[in-house]
Structure 1
Amino acid sequence: MGMTLIIILVAAVAFALFVVALYNKLVRLRVDCDNGWSQIDVQLKRRYDLVPNLIETVKGYASHERETLEAVVQARTRAQEAQGVKAQAEAENMLTQALGRIFALSEAYPDLKANQNFLSLQEELTSTENKIGFARQHYNDCVARYSTSIQQFPSNIVAGMFSFKPRDYFELDTAAAREVPKVSFSKN
């Protein structure tokens, strides 16, 4: 076996190992994105579980605010049925706005504002919103690392060969959706 053949074989093996290493890095980053999305999903489900209790509590004090209550129920349903990151973000924006209207009702109904169950649910929702925010930040960080990797040379070649596709960021579009619902513990 000639020296040239040995050099070619060593170069081919080194190249193959390099491609495998890049591929494995891209897979790890893609899995990190999937895991980040799962963390968001857990918090969103927790939020969805709190909404019916909130609706029932508000109904007892503000039953004639039917339009507002129905808007929350519809927004929750849309959010639960949303497919894909962008559709989920849009649905979550609508749900956040609808929940904001529910919390605004508490200003008009002092008995509701003083209700311990309402206050507890409001506190839980605020906590959940914070957790969603942290999970969203983690997911978006994972997407940024993944996106950078699939666009940088030479991993962009491997990404193209193995069909690694860009991921969407989970973004909140409206100023209202960016705000965490306000919690007021005063009983005025």
Structure 2
Amino acid sequence: MRKFLPWIIIVVIILGIYAWSAGIYNKAMTYDQGIKEAWGNVNTAYQKRNDLIVNLVKSVQGQADYEKGTLEAVVKARAEASQTKIDPTNITPEQLEKFNNAQSTLSRLLMTVENYPSLQANQGFLKLQDEITSMENQILTARTRYNEAIKPYNNNILTFPRNILAGMYGLKEKPYFEAVAGAEKAPDVEFNFDKKEESK
């Protein structure tokens, strides 16, 4: 029995290391699935808002006093936001920043549209405004839950000695959603009141 004892110890150690490393990888994959689900919810919320914007544009197109350039800016921003796609499996800080910037630009333009006084008498617009405001809240919730899904994944692969195995498995830290610099400020949009008054 003593003859085989060293081999038994080696086998037990190898199995222990295997079980430990497999546990780290499997837990990372479980967290990764949660991240994919959370990212899918973020995209769903943004897509729903983009669909509402089509109706918003139709609603304000007939407003004689509405600045055409602003409407075109909203349409352009929506197109750019829709074209910015991310693979949550290989997400990078640069990709997330680009996506975040596109969506933030659209959000800020929508805020400008919502604050335009002459649209407040349009009941159809007011309903859309409420829906878009609700969607912004849903987007905020989806982004928060995405960040909550990122945290356990990053903790799992960045703490020592897990980070050594994570590097061997090719697992990398995933970025969080962060506020875009200047996102709290609405874009400068000029409305052509003087020209319209002169033409009357």
Which TM bucket (shorter chain)? 0.7 to 0.9
1:107-159 alpha-carbon deviations (Å, 9 max, x no partner):
1x1xx212221111011101111110110000011112222222101221221
Cα separation, 2, equivalents of 1:176 and 1:41:
24
Cα separation, 1, equivalents of 2:64 and 2:185:
23
Q: Which amino acid aligns with 2:96?
A: V
Instruction: Give 2:135's aligned residue.
Output: 128
Please give the residue correspondences for 1:113-124 in structure 2 after superposition, counting only pairs within 5 Å.
113-124=120-131
Cα separation, 2, equivalents of 1:18 and 1:78:
45
Structure 1 residues 165 and 62, CA gap change in structure 2 (3 angstroms)? farther
TM-score (norm: length of structure 1)? 0.87
Instruction: Give 1:23's aligned residue.
Output: 25
Instruction: Give 1:72's aligned residue.
Output: 74
- Matched length: 173
Q: Which amino acid aligns with 2:68?
A: R
Structure 2 unpaired stretches of 5+: 86-94, 187-200
2:110 to 99, 124, 130: 99
Q: Which amino acid aligns with 2:171?
A: F
Cα separation, 2, equivalents of 1:171 and 1:116:
35
Please give the residue correspondences for 1:33-112 in structure 2 after superposition, counting only pairs within 5 Å.
33-62=35-64, 64-83=66-85, 84-105=95-116, 107=117, 109=118, 112=119
Q: Is the aligned partner of 1:175 residue 2:184?
A: yes
TM-score (norm: length of structure 2)? 0.82
CA root-mean-square deviation: 1.5
SS in 1 for 2:62: helix
Cα separation, 2, equivalents of 1:116 and 1:150:
52
Structure 1 unpaired stretches of 5+: 178-188
Q: What is the CA-CA distance between 1:104 and the residue it aligns to? A: 1.9
SS in 2 for 1:171: coil
Q: Identity over the aligned pairs, expressed in percent?
A: 35
Q: What is the CA-CA distance between 1:64 and the residue it aligns to? A: 4.7
Mapped contact 2:41–2:142 kept (Cα < 8 A): yes
Return structure 1 stretches of 4+ with deviation > 4 angstroms.
none
